[in-house]
């Protein structure tokens, strides 16, 4: 009786100790996440272990493929191995939603469309629900970033940048490039739309509170709703306005004290309809 009691107590202690250790690990992970900016080119052994663990956890519930981003060549802020969830692992074969997406074609579309969005943060599937992909991305890149990135990529790829390889040659005359705003947007955003359609995306949640974000007099990012050519008209745009990073800078400057911190929804640049 005494031995049984001791055994039970020992078991309880072990479970409790394990729970405490797991809580500490989660707290450490959150602390790392909150203080460290992820860069695919700068991987530490600790980050490598976290990435490996994430893949193991995905494998428990899903059949998945990987979009390769080894040195951040696709996006410097996305993981080196970007997980694409194909379908849930179930005991039976019934009620299973299998993906029709081919990973090789997806990788190609990703490579072509990455310039369309700010900092190369392309439309990336992150949640799979009943065969439907919930994706994340940054907002659309403005002309300044587009010209900068396309020029940079073309120069350092030896004139073989994927953005231009489908059906058109790279303009040789610099003036032709500068005057080709519409053509460039058609090309790059066209690839973005192809990726959205390939992933069967129908709804776009627009978090921007303004049509375009302006820095130093330049349009640096743009919302789908502000696309002059209405390229995204076939998608249902859902306005879900959320204050941008500059608002949370005020939060940080106040030593993370939210009391009295209010976002002014009536300011001039806040242009949206719910």
Looking at the domain assignment, is residue 124 inside a domain?
Answer: yes
Question: What's the pTM?
Answer: 0.74
Q: Tell me what pLDDT residue 130 has.
A: 87
Looking at residue 32, what is its pLDDT? 87
Which pLDDT belongs to residue 219? 56
Report DSSP letters for 135-151, one per residue.
Answer: EE--PEE-HHHHHHHHH
**Domain membership flag for residue 261:** no
Q: Is residue 20 part of a domain?
A: no
Contact present, 114 and 188 (Cβ < 8 Å): no
Residue at 142 is within a domain: yes
- Per the domain annotation, does 225 fall within a domain? no
Domain count for the chain, please give it.
1
pLDDT per residue as tens, the chain (274 positions): 444 444 444 444 456 666 777 888 889 888 888 888 888 988 889 999 999 999 999 999 999 999 999 889 999 999 999 999 999 987 655 566 667 889 999 999 999 999 899 888 999 999 999 889 999 998 888 777 776 665 545 444 444 444 444 444 444 455 544 455 678 888 889 999 999 999 999 999 988 766 656 554 555 567 788 788 889 999 998 888 777 777 778 888 888 888 888 877 776 555 556 5
Asked if the structure places residue 219 within a domain, the reply is no
Residue 193 within a domain: yes
Parallel, antiparallel, or unpaired: how do β-strands 124-129 and 62-68 relate? unpaired
Is residue 32 a part of any domain in this protein? no
Give the residue among 259, 264, 214 at the shortest CA–CA distance from 243. Answer: 264
Give kind and range of the element (H or E) at residue 170.
none
Q: Which domain holds residue 125?
A: 61-201
* CA–CA dist 157, 144 (Å, integer): 20
Question: For residue 218, what are the β-bridge partners?
Answer: 215
């Amino acid at each position: 009786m005494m031995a049984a009691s001791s055994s039970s107590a020992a078991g309880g202690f072990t479970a409790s100790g394990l729970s405490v250790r797991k809580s500490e690990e989660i707290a450490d992970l959150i602390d790392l996440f909150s203080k460290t900016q992820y860069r695919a080119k700068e991987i530490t052994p600790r980050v490598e272990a976290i990435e490996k663990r994430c893949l193991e956890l995905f494998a428990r519930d899903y059949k998945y493929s990987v979009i390769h981003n080894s040195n951040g060549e696709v996006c410097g802020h996305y993981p080196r191995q970007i997980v694409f969830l194909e379908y849930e692992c179930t005991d039976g074969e019934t009620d299973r939603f299998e993906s029709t997406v081919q990973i090789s074609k997806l990788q190609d579309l990703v490579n072509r469309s990455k310039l369309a969005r700010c900092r190369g943060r392309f439309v990336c599937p992150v949640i799979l629900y009943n065969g439907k992909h919930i994706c994340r991305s940054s907002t659309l890149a403005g002309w300044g970033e587009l010209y900068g990135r396309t020029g940079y990529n073309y120069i350092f790829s030896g004139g073989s940048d994927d953005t231009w390889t489908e059906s058109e040659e790279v303009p040789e005359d610099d003036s032709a490039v500068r005057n080709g705003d519409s053509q460039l947007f058609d090309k790059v955003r066209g690839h973005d739309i192809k990726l959205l359609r390939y992933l069967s995306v129908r709804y776009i949640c627009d978090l921007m509170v303004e049509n375009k974000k302006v820095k130093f007099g330049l349009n640096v990012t743009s919302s789908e709703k502000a696309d002059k050519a209405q390229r995204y008209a076939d998608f249902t745009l859902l306005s879900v306005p959320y204050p941008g990073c500059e608002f949370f800078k005020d939060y940080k400057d106040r030593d993370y004290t939210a009391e009295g911190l209010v976002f002014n929804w009536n300011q001039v640049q806040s242009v949206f309809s719910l």
